[in-house]
Amino acid sequence: MYANKRVFWRQNKAKLFLLIVGFVSFNLCLHAQSDEQVSEHKGTERVSLTQYVNPFIGTSNFGATHPGAQYPHGMASVVPFNVAFGKEEGNIFEKDESWHSRPYVHENTFLTGFSHVNLSGVGCPELGALLLMPTSGELELDPQKYGSTYTKEVASPGYYSSHLNKYNIRTEVTSTPRSGISRYHFPAGKNHIIFNLGLSLSNETGAMVKRVSDTEIEGFRTIGTFCYRPEDIRPVYFVAQVSQSPSASGVYKKMPEYKNVEAEWVKFNNSYKTYDNYFQAMAGDDVGAYFTFQHEQATSIEVKVGISYVSIENARANLEAEQPKFNFDRTLEQSTAAWNKLLSRVKVKGTVLNKRLFYTALYHMLIHPNLLQDVNGEYPIMGSHRIGNTQGKDRYTTFSLWDTNRNVHPFLSLVYPELQSAMVNSMVDMAKESGWMPKWELLSMETDVMVGDPAAIVIADTYLKGITDFDVMSAYSYLKKGSDTSQNNPLRPESVDYNSLAYVPIDDEGSWDGSVSTSLEYYLADFAISQLANALGKPDDSKRYYQKSLGYKHLLDPETGMLRPKFRSGEWFTPYNPELGRNFEPAPGYVEGNAWNYRFYVPHDVPGLIEALGGSDIFLAELQRCFETNNYDMANEPDITYPFLFNYVEGSAWKSQKKVKQLINKYYADKPSGLPGNDDAGTMSAWLAFSMLGLYPVTPASTEYAIVTPQFEHIEISLSDKYYEGNTLVIESSSQQKDEPFIESVHLNSTKIDSFFVDHTQLVKGGTLRFQLQSTPNTSVTEH
Amino acid sequence: MYANKRVFWRQNKAKLFLLIVGFVSFNLCLHAQSDEQVSEHKGTERVSLTQYVNPFIGTSNFGATHPGAQYPHGMASVVPFNVAFGKEEGNIFEKDESWHSRPYVHENTFLTGFSHVNLSGVGCPELGALLLMPTSGELELDPQKYGSTYTKEVASPGYYSSHLNKYNIRTEVTSTPRSGISRYHFPAGKNHIIFNLGLSLSNETGAMVKRVSDTEIEGFRTIGTFCYRPEDIRPVYFVAQVSQSPSASGVYKKMPEYKNVEAEWVKFNNSYKTYDNYFQAMAGDDVGAYFTFQHEQATSIEVKVGISYVSIENARANLEAEQPKFNFDRTLEQSTAAWNKLLSRVKVKGTVLNKRLFYTALYHMLIHPNLLQDVNGEYPIMGSHRIGNTQGKDRYTTFSLWDTNRNVHPFLSLVYPELQSAMVNSMVDMAKESGWMPKWELLSMETDVMVGDPAAIVIADTYLKGITDFDVMSAYSYLKKGSDTSQNNPLRPESVDYNSLAYVPIDDEGSWDGSVSTSLEYYLADFAISQLANALGKPDDSKRYYQKSLGYKHLLDPETGMLRPKFRSGEWFTPYNPELGRNFEPAPGYVEGNAWNYRFYVPHDVPGLIEALGGSDIFLAELQRCFETNNYDMANEPDITYPFLFNYVEGSAWKSQKKVKQLINKYYADKPSGLPGNDDAGTMSAWLAFSMLGLYPVTPASTEYAIVTPQFEHIEISLSDKYYEGNTLVIESSSQQKDEPFIESVHLNSTKIDSFFVDHTQLVKGGTLRFQLQSTPNTSVTEH
């Protein structure tokens, strides 16, 4: 359990413990106590690894993660929402004043509720809806007025708590896969619970709410327009229940602004109107419900909220299945246990700081994708408003594939193959439902955000890693369709040119961005397809897609050594400044980055690239120059493999070891700003987690990991019985001294590894990967 | 069938006929032809009296009636909505620029759709919602932009048609009790049908709409806040179906105004966003649906809309029961037949002008109250959101009782006793459901508009008229409760003072208006209760309430002869100007009128008032002065009996005959401005209808009609078999010459009537009321 700086948790543990005792149940205190006090050196069964997770990491520096309560891959989450209004109360970031994708920002101070559907670590505003807020005194329904500053923030996986200063209310929240529960510790007096369906991070609007009884409401809220794209939207359905009968309750709606003489007569002009005891459905842009309580003494009230993307009935069924009673403590226990079970798949020995970084990274990787199906198996079919049934399988959603194909899915394949299998199955089902593989899928909506065809990489990589329990032949046919369809191809809209020219020309940029970036992603995807074709015994296909994947050479400009935008005519784009785009200004040919960020982005043919650039020395010099000139962006996906590329040059692997360690130290920390930037649905975290294990999957759709120095003296990965031969993979380092950061040699079991690469298929047979470390760089020649 | 001036119907009948042929089906043309060409002199079975109804009467001069299609007492109606926007296109009245209660105003020119729930002739904005609009060209969803001017308006009971200039679309609408149907005659090209749930006359907002299929939508729209009172609201549920599969369809929503930098990214900023092919529920302040058609040639499309105040399911059931197929012509036939059947209850011979005035008055009286229950009997219970079932009875709603108690309900009792019975049954059921008799009931919501206790008058009057098939003992107990409850009496909020002082003192005015007005209404209601008590054999009660009813004498100021505001202390309100309030400026003591309008408002004790004022001569002089000084307001309910009060002074009845005829000529006409003011749910029309029959119910809760000169040479009222002994009441005049406007004598069958009053119980035995008219006033003394 983690407390942020404001609480001085570590400085003042006893004091906080007493504070908590004052507010939460004895049960919870035991929980908090055990998290903090049971050492990892005790029997492994009793170790709670959740103590190492700091949910506040990434909540500053635009990391965009949230510190709220979430079950692993949960559809629901309960997140403190502090990005609306509050400038006077100290808020720095306002959701409507910039491109703002965060329901919570650590620097902010003004809380306007707890949202029940949320995204973590994404770059576009969406969800952040179904806001529950406890207040005291006279009922106020304007969030700008009822918002409160807060102190005493505490968060751990599945738990968040803070104290609302304005009302003297202690809040606690936790969740199940499809529901949230909040416990509000009210002072004596008049108290309220407000369910706000107007305010949200989503730019969609409109909601319906209906009181079912004094203690229950139901309805829906429309969400969508991810990345300000208006194409696709959905309702999120909910059922909310309070644990105590209110003394009054009703629904409310913000009334429009009346001008002219009508303004004299209407009682609610541009203000919130209450409908006390109204039992019909209420709809509008800004509606909600309230429950008012008159407490003679301080009282705790719990509120459960079940959600569904199918129907109100399903939201109720989800809630009843996962939280049949009001039992905050039990729900919290279950969530904590679920997190601990997943985190325990990897056990490490090392510094507390490194453990906190590592387990928080794991935690961040296990938030998205999310479960989409309800407890009865129903879910919205991809790109449709029809309802399907998973028939017992899990259906995942929220695939930020341009990001996560790079390392999140490879990490899941290694450590959580059963999850990766389920996700790939979901992706194949999406293709079957919509005709196309997903790209940035959100709640069965294809948002078409970013470029490329990342599903091909995920599918091929997963299969090659040995996770084959999905309909690979169907998957393969959709991958081929994605690559080969030139006309009307929503997945690869630039495939007309790409398939005829072998690159995407810059001629038509303007309506879209990034001809070079798009080409590079297509090459990579085609490489993945070629590798899958090979595995499936289709050598002709494999050869053809491999040839496509080498098209990058068409864009390699001998003059600048850059992957440079080219016209359809074959002429290079001129004038050309490779530095352009470093600060997110438009850079013709590139999307989200500049030419340097894409310069070495041919991870499927690094040796070929090295050769094409003029050999190892030039490559090495230019790679070095990339870092030295500040053209390496740790927070930008296309270049995040660059630190590992030194491994490809004989005698230089120590530079990767050094660079990776430097980058970890520079960009990752056990504090809110402890991510290099937007976590991108776990991608920044996965970079850290892999790096700390000493492994990194540079080449997608291959079984090869680049090797760097592990950040732990002992790592134990429990391998899946179902997918892998081995029981456990141990990664051991001879030393974890700060003065021995370099690899002298690596042995897998008794076999010395001759390169700075190791094969996945070997690792998952189990055993020990033993690192012999030393204090000086090992410049001896190794082979790749 | 009537055409307004713009069409020059009467001047250019043949031309219009050809125009109609161009637009509507042959079937309808036959209908139009028969209405216009079959003379009333042919066999009565074939006479269509709907031809004499001019639905445009009352659509100007603030009459507030609508010219739309409505089934008698229909829950649904389809009304051209022309009170939004359009200033540049010539609109004069804008619903949001004043206290505006009209969905249609004749002077306006800019139509933004056809509303499916409407009030006619009321003083507060409400309903005017569920707007259907046909358009052509590119889809435009902003009503300010898609509205159109129109020409060629035609309306008859149950039918309205016009031509939308902007789109070259001919529209026709008709309705059933619980549904509407529209037929749009589209030109070739791209055409649309828009269902707008944002725009309305109601000041409530918020709606939900969901596409059920390509051709069907369902949802609800919240309505309420009648008279800008925020207390009570309801959803009106709907199901709408189009007769042809559209080429595209979807829902839409007006997006909020984005400011800051977000405005650069959102595609829909303060504008209408479409959700093509969206099949989930959409909710918001301003949402709707659209159907787009691509027509190769001119095509007619029909749209059915079913409504319910219970549920979407019931709206669908209503629609399926009343319009199982798309058959505009048949629906129109049924509506016309229903109107004709009701209108035929009274047959008259006279000038066409008088027929048009009379049948339009009848028509206006039969619009409200409205059916509330669905075809399955379900309806919202009074003051509740629970659902009841009428078990086969009709449940009526929309009781503007302060207005309609005076003459509408008495007229119904005489001519349509079965309807009056059903309405009184509904009122008693409301009391059983809510604990109190209704005052201004709207859709099972008590809006508490206006003062007094008018239900008492309606109940007593109905019972005394011989309509006794309701739970009179329960009704009586609720009437007593209304009169006797001093504390917490929502029906008579001033009863604390009234019951102790025998009048409502002016001391507390401010939070409410009209201490004198309120007192006078309470006296009248108590008189009604006393009369009912008497009829029920409760002489003690009768005496007690009768005494209460005479309390008006406490307010009769000997100095001014006015019913003057008085303080609790017994002192008169000073300074006092009886003229104040004539122009709707505040007049302490009076509501909706000035002292003059209330001066003789003791219709239950006119002789007593005459005596108290100092005798007949003074009374007569003051009554005369009231008219001469322009202090008689024909459009204000409290004084509308004044023209008949001359009957109470011996030898002066001719003045009533003359005055009534003058008022008819002055205030009523066969043109849009042909009502003296707001029709008040038929009250102004009922004044006309009674007056034209030569009868007027001055004293409520009595069986007495004052007699004036009938405006027809021959009147035949079919008497109800169930309620009345007689078959037919004939009212015959010896002459209908303009130079013989005065009554010489009146005989009921063979008996000469000795006064200028006749008894209801005698009339309903049937026979002939024969008027002998003469050219000079009859100043001979008669007895009352």
**pLDDT of B29 strictly over 60:** no
Tell me if A262 and B203 make a contact (CB, 8 A cut-off): yes
Closest Cβ opposite residue B222 in set A99, A234, A282: A282
Q: Indicate the angle between helix axes A683-693 and A352-365, nearest 10 degrees.
A: 140
Q: Would the CB atoms of A278 and B96 count as touching at under 8 Å?
A: no
Residues B232-255: pLDDT tens digits?
899 999 999 999 999 999 999 999
Contact A262 B207 (CB under 8 A): no
pLDDT band at B168 (very low <50, low <70, confident <90, very high): very high
Cβ–Cβ below 8 Å for A97 and B228: no
**Low-confidence winner among A4-8, A410-414, B344-348, B654-658 (lowest mean pLDDT):** A4-8
For residue B275, give the nearest of A207, A233, A285 by CB distance. A233
Question: What pLDDT, on the 0 to 100 scale, is given for residue A736?
Answer: 55
For residues A430 and A382, what is the distance between their CA atoms, to the nearest angstrom? 5
Distance CA A668, CA A675 (A): 5
Write down the pLDDT at residue A18.
Answer: 35
- Which pLDDT score, from 0 to 100, does residue A331 have? 98
Task: Please tell me the predicted confidence (pLDDT) of residue B781.
Answer: 64
Of A36-40, A109-113, B662-666, give the lowest mean pLDDT range.
Answer: A36-40
> Chain B: nearest CA to A422, how far in angstroms?
28
User: Using CA of residue A555, residue A559, residue A562, residue A568, what is the dihedral sign?
Assistant: negative
Q: Is the alpha carbon torsion for B438, B442, B446, B448 positive or negative?
A: negative
Q: Which chain A residues are Cβ-neighbours of B234 within 8 angstroms?
A: 280
Least Cα separation, residue B199 to chain A (angstroms): 12
The tens digit of pLDDT for each residue in B494-503 reads 999 999 999 9
- Indicate the DSSP class of residue B214: T
Which distant-in-sequence residues (6+ apart) come within 8 Å of B738 by Cβ?
Answer: none
- A98 CB neighbours in chain B (<8 A) are 260-261
pLDDT tens digit string along A720-732?
999 999 999 999 9
Q: Which amino acid is at B96?
A: D
**pLDDT tens digits for B433-485?**
999 999 999 999 999 889 999 999 999 999 999 999 999 999 999 999 999 99
A40 pLDDT band, cuts 50/70/90, is very low
A99/B261 touch (CB, cutoff 8 Å), yes or no: yes
Hey, are the CB atoms on A206 and B97 less than 8 Å from each other? Answer: no
Q: Which residues of A touch B259 (CB under 8 A)?
A: 96
C-alpha span between B360 and B640 (Å, rounded): 19
Residue A25 has pLDDT above 60, yes or no: no
Q: How far apart are CA A613 and CA A619, in angstroms?
A: 6
Is the pLDDT score of B716 beyond 70? yes
Nearest-Cα distance to chain A for B755, in Å, is: 49
Cα nearest neighbour of A94 on chain B: B260
Q: Which of B218, B228, B279, B312 to probe the A interface (max A CBs under 10 A)? A: B228
Q: Do A385 and B280 touch (CB under 8 A)?
A: yes
Q: What ipTM describes this predicted complex?
A: 0.89
In chain A, whose CA is at the least distance from the CA of B269? Answer: A203
First vs last Cα of chain B: how many Å apart? 43
Q: What is the pLDDT of residues A125-138, one digit of tens each?
A: 999 999 999 999 99
* Residue A442: pLDDT band with limits 50, 70, 90: very high
| B202 contacts in chain A (CB < 8 Å) | none
Q: Quick one: pLDDT at residue B632?
A: 94
Task: Kindly give the interhelix angle for B352-365 and B328-343, rounded to the nearest 10 degrees.
Answer: 100
Q: Nearest Cβ partner of A260 from B97, B220, B275?
A: B97
Q: Which residues contact A526 (CB under 8 A, 6 or more apart)?
A: A456, A483, A545, A546, A548, A549, A551
- Nearest CB to B284; choose among A99, A205, A259: A205
pLDDT given for residue A422 in this prediction: 98
Q: Which chain B residues are Cβ-neighbours of A235 within 8 angstroms? A: 280-281
Average pLDDT over every residue of A672-691: 98
- Check B97 against A222: CB less than 8 A apart: no
Q: Look at B98 and A260 and tell me if their CB atoms are within 8 Å.
A: yes
Nearest CB partner across the interface for A253, out of B98, B206, B253: B206
Chain B residues closer than 8 Å to A268 by CB: 230
d(CA A16, CA A3): 9
Domains of chain A are: 2-340 (2.70.98.10), 398-774 (3.30.2080.10)
For residue B327, give the nearest of B179, B487, B210, B483 by alpha carbon. Answer: B179
User: For testing the chain B interface, which of A200, A282, A309, A311 should be mutated: the one with the most B CBs within 10 Å?
Assistant: A282
Lowest mean pLDDT among A202-216, B11-25, B165-179, B697-711: B11-25
pLDDT confidence of residue A27: 35
Contacts of B203 in chain A (CB under 8 A): 258, 262, 266
Instruction: List chain B residues with CB under 8 Å of A314.
Output: none
Residue-level pLDDT at B736: 55
Minimal CA separation from B286 to chain A, in Å: 8
Can you read off the two tokens belonging to residue B556? Answer: 């009769």
Cβ–Cβ under 8 Å, residues A283 and B220: yes
- Pick the more confident residue, A448 or B366: B366
A739 confidence band (pLDDT: 50, 70, 90) = confident
Q: In chain A, which residues have their Cβ closer than 8 Å to the Cβ of B83?
A: none
Residue B302, min C-alpha distance to chain A (Å): 27
- Nearest chain B residue to A268 by CA distance is B230
CA gap B687, B406 in Å, rounded:
9
**Could you tell me whether strands B767-774 and B728-733 are parallel, antiparallel, or unpaired per DSSP bridges?**
parallel
CB contact under 8 A, A285 and B256: yes
Q: How far is residue B359's CA from residue B49's CA, in Å, rounded to a whole number? A: 7
- Tell me whether residues B208 and A208 touch, CB distance under 8 A: yes
State the smallest CA–CA distance between residue A611 and chain B in angstroms: 43
What residue of A is the nearest CA neighbor of B234? A280
Task: Express each pLDDT in A529-543 by its tens digit.
Answer: 999 999 999 999 999
CB crowding B276-285: b at 16 or more within 10 Å, else e: eebbbbbbbb
- Token representation of residue A289: 């419900």
> Is residue A510 scored above 80 in pLDDT?
no
Please tell me the distance in Å from B266's CA to the nearest CA on chain A.
Answer: 6
- Chain A residues touching residue B285 (CB < 8 angstroms): 256, 284-286
Split at pLDDT 50, 70, 90, the class of B726 is: very high
Instruction: Suggest the residue from B100, B221, B282 to mutate for an interface test with chain A (most A CBs closer than 10 A).
Output: B282
Residues in chain A: 784
| pLDDT at residue A468 greater than cutoff 70 | yes
Residues A315-333: tens digit of each pLDDT: 999 999 999 999 999 999 9
Contacts of B235 in chain A (CB under 8 A): 280-281
What does the pLDDT average to over A82-100?
Answer: 93
Q: A207 and B283: CB-CB below 8 Å?
A: yes
pLDDT score for A579 = 83
Which DSSP symbol is given to B306? E
**Buried b / exposed e across B35-45, counting CB within 10 Å, b at 16+?**
bbeeebeeeee
- Both tokens assigned to A575: 């004038």
- On the question of pLDDT at B27 being above 80, the answer is no
To the nearest whole number, what is the mean pLDDT of chain B? 92
Residue in B260, B281, B285 closest to A208 by CB: B281
DSSP conformation letters of A211-227: EEETTEEEEEEEEE-GG
State if pTM tops 0.80: yes
Query: Inter-chain contact B258–A96, Cβ cutoff 8 Å?
Result: yes
Q: Is the pLDDT of residue A586 over 90?
A: no
CB within 8 Å: B235 and A385: no
Strand pairing category for A216-224 and A233-242: antiparallel
Max Cα-Cα span within chain B: 89
* Residue type for position B446: E
Confidence (pLDDT) at B134: 98
Look at residue B259 in the predicted model and tell me its pLDDT.
84
CA distance A376 to chain B (A): 20
Q: For residue A392, what are its two tokens?
A: 């017992």
More confident residue, B26 or A396: A396
Q: How far apart are CA A454 and CA A441, in angstroms?
A: 12
A contact test, residue of B225, B260, B280 with most A CBs within 10 A: B280
Instruction: Decide if pLDDT at A30 tops 60.
Output: no
Mean pLDDT across A769-783: 85
Instruction: Measure in Å the smallest separation between the Cα of A569 and chain B Cα atoms.
Output: 33
* pLDDT grade for B509, boundaries at 50, 70 and 90: confident
Mutation target among A205, A212, A269, A272 for the B interface, most CBs of B within 10 A: A205
Higher-pLDDT residue of B759 and B20 is: B759
Place of tokens 């829902």: B251
